[in-house]
A and B are shown apart, each in its own frame.
Chain A
Amino acid sequence: MRVHANYTPALVCLILLTAVLVGCADPQLRREITQTQTVSPHRKAIRPGATSNERFGLVLTPPGMPRTDSFLQWQTPEGWKAAPASNMRLINFRVGPRGEAECYVTILPGAAGGVAANVNRWRGQLGLEPISESDIAKLPTLSLLGQEAVFVSLDGNFSGMGDTVPQKDYRLFGLIGENQGHMQFVKMTGPRKILEAEAENFAIFCASIAPASPNNTGEERTTAVLKDQELGWSTPVSWRPVDHPSTMRLATFACGADPDVECYVTVLDGDAGGTAANINRWCRQLGQQPLAEDEFAALRRVTVLGQPSPLVTVSGDYQGMGGETQSGALMAGVVCVLPEQVLFVKMIGPQAAARAQIDNFVAFAESLQMRHFHE
């Protein structure tokens, strides 16, 4: 007797099981909320509709959490001493022999009053009259965290918050700009003489501020990896090395016969605001318009440390960060983008004398060699 097995029920079960398995999403990816808890009569009232700025903007830093260090990194100029940070001063320094000057970074949610109101507030602190928005629009700009920020350098008698007697002969460097819904400020105040000497450090510090990598360990990067003994070069015959008080410079040279032509090398961590932003800053310092994209793309490239690096030459009336001026100047600059760092080679001087050194400048830049980039 032949027995015909009836596979139908098994087949139906198999199909149903498959359908159930396919129909149900992976429990790892989809879960039901089953737990409940009784709402307390003493629960604090919840404010509906709070914006992200209201929720996170001025949240107190929890103890033990290095908040600023974790989301910003920067390069501390030598001689600047770290002061305690706060919610209003994310990065805070005392500057000068006795800490007479201070420099700090503030980031506030929203417009924080806007650029014009803050610039005029700063002017008021120096006893200066407010200026119009059109005048503010003409102010020079610098790159701060990848965005253009308005730069002011103001002299006067300074009355800070809580000061009853104005501090005489003060200077204020201020950098203010909007960045993705936040207003960011860098402010430095102190005796004018100290700020004159620290102008370049201020610019370099501002350019060095960068977002930390999202999963960093919260450590501040205080110094550049490059050191003069790690960087080699061939000095043009007519150049001679000179000592310069700025510790941000890896090397400084007097170029040729005219002692007013100087060339120096600096390096910053991160992208330092970007190549274009730095070149445009140089253009503005000489009273020139920022480069258009096609002009930037057309710049001559020289090979520095193996990297094709744009070379720019700009002429005009130079005005430095510290207020120093030089009429009829020429600046040559190279921006070399390295892994995690940017190297700047810059030469400035009277037009005729500096122009005569352009070939030496290029040769010098191309002669740079890394001996021990990373220990």
Chain B
Amino acid sequence: MPEPERQSNPFVRIFAFLASYGVAAVILTLLLILTFLGTLEQVDHGLFAVQERYFNSLFLVHYFFGILPVPLPGAYLLMVLLFINLVCGAIIRSPKSWRRPGMLIAHSGILLLLLGGFVTYRYSIGGNMRLYEGEASSEFESYTGWVLEIVMVDTPAGSDALVIPESDLADIAPGETRTFHSDRLPFELEISGYGKNTSVEPMLGSHSMIAVDGFYLMTLPRDPEEEQNVAGAYVTVVEKGSGKRHEGILWPLEAHPYTVEIDGIDWAFLLRRPRWTVPFTIVLDKFTMEKHPGTNTPKVFLSDVTKIEGKSQEQIKIEMNEPLRYKGYTFFQASWGPQEARPGDRLFSVFAVVRNPADNWPLYACIVITGGLLIHFCQKLLLYLRREHQRRPAL
């Protein structure tokens, strides 16, 4: 009797469990609950924080009614489990036959959709590029996060600047100083007081904060909208030869970056958003914005840009729902500013820039799923019609 033997095999039982409809139903139900709870949480905690906590996590604790802690699996873990469940149940276990390819194709499409989500999460980058008319850029910067860039003021374009990632700054404990060094630098950097949301304020009282040239770094409560937070830190530049120390404050909204002259060379220290370079240049030739009559609501805003790559130039119009797609990068017309601009003021255009290797995978997945379902339903229809035809007595 082979059947009981197979059931006693623990691997078979594990496989059967992973491939079961029950597991699929539980995972889908939990994803539904997470989506609901995460959507509600966004009201108080902002999009970024909720995405990190509910959708990019393995586990989380949700406080029902603000007081009752309930541990839940994160959406990341659930989608990995769903992928395994589909592979086991819908691909490996399901009967494979050229006579019934529909469901196999449809499930393959769902797997492609999940895989696309994973590739997007792990490998896509997104940010924005802001240009005034006449300005050019080949970089876009992240909406969140900070890096400390150390560069010679006279560094020519194309050479390298040293960069300290935020992960090396964010875990500096209060009261702790971290030293950063490089053989390429004639100094070391001592960073302290790193805050995720700060402002630089004039030192007007006598409270016991560190002050640099009459200013100090004030720590502010963290804004739920991650993009609104402005990091800051104290920096001390220690010259390697003489040990001479230069103190400053790093703050992204400064009018000019902190600079120090060492041995006749000016060094700049910029706390800024992470940036990525695109292999071409975008020049904003003209920005057009029209408002609905009598309102401040924009009716249309579009950007006439020139894409320059080597010696070739191409005039392109970017507007809402008509992005520029080139070399894996997509430029969407996102916004414009300044919002308080008066007629005649110089405006800038903001492009949301995305590089996503799986950019079109959801489209492909939907086509595959649609095709699979069409095949399946057509087969079912044909089967039904054939049976009806056979059942009907011959006249």
Contacts and interface: CB of A to CB of B under 8 A. Distances in A.
User: Is A bound to B?
Assistant: yes
A70 interface: yes
Contacts of A145: 204-205
Interface residues of A, number: 56
B256 A50 contact: yes
Contacts of A164: none
Interface string B162-181: 11110010000000111111
Contacts of A46: 151, 153, 256-257, 259, 266, 268, 270
B155 to A, nearest CB: 5
Contact of A39 (B156, B205, B228): B156
- Interface size range on B against A: 35 or more
Contacts of A4: none
Contacts of A59: 200, 253-255
A179 B203 CA distance: 8
Interface in B226-272: 228, 230, 248-249, 251, 253-259, 261, 266, 268, 270
Contact of B254 (A34, A56, A67): A56
A146 interface: yes
Contacts of A215: 218-219
A41 B158 contact: yes
B199 A71 contact: yes
Given A30-B181, A65-B220, A52 B275 contact: no
B256 A39 contact: no
Contact of B149 (A37, A51, A54, A211): A37
Contacts of A210: 205
A266 to B, nearest CB: 22
B228 A64 contact: yes
A31 B216 CA distance: 26
Contacts of B225: 64
A33 B255 contact: no
Contacts of A65: 199, 220, 228, 230
A56 B205 contact: no
Nearest to B208: A214
Interface stretch (B12-20, B61-69, B133-141, B377-385): B133-141
Nearest to A271: B205
Contacts, number: 187
A38 B160 contact: yes
A214 B207 contact: yes
B205 A211 contact: yes
A145 B206 CA distance: 9
Contact of B256 (A30, A54, A211, A214): A54
Nearest to B176: A29
Contacts of A179: 202, 204
B215 interface: yes
Nearest to A57: B255
Interface stretch (A120-128, A168-176, A180-188, A229-237): A180-188
25 contacts: A28-B178, A30-B180, A32-B181, A32-B182, A33-B181, A33-B182, A37-B161, A38-B161, A39-B157, A39-B158, A41-B138, A42-B157, A48-B261, A49-B266, A53-B214, A55-B257, A59-B254, A62-B230, A65-B228, A107-B204, A145-B204, A146-B205, A146-B206, A211-B204, A213-B207
Shortest Cβ-Cβ A-B pairs, 10 listed: A211-B205, A52-B213, A50-B256, A41-B157, A181-B214, A71-B201, A48-B266, A36-B160, A33-B182, A48-B259
Interface of A: 25, 28-43, 46-60, 62-65, 67, 70-72, 107, 109, 145-146, 179-182, 184, 210-211, 213-215, 217-218
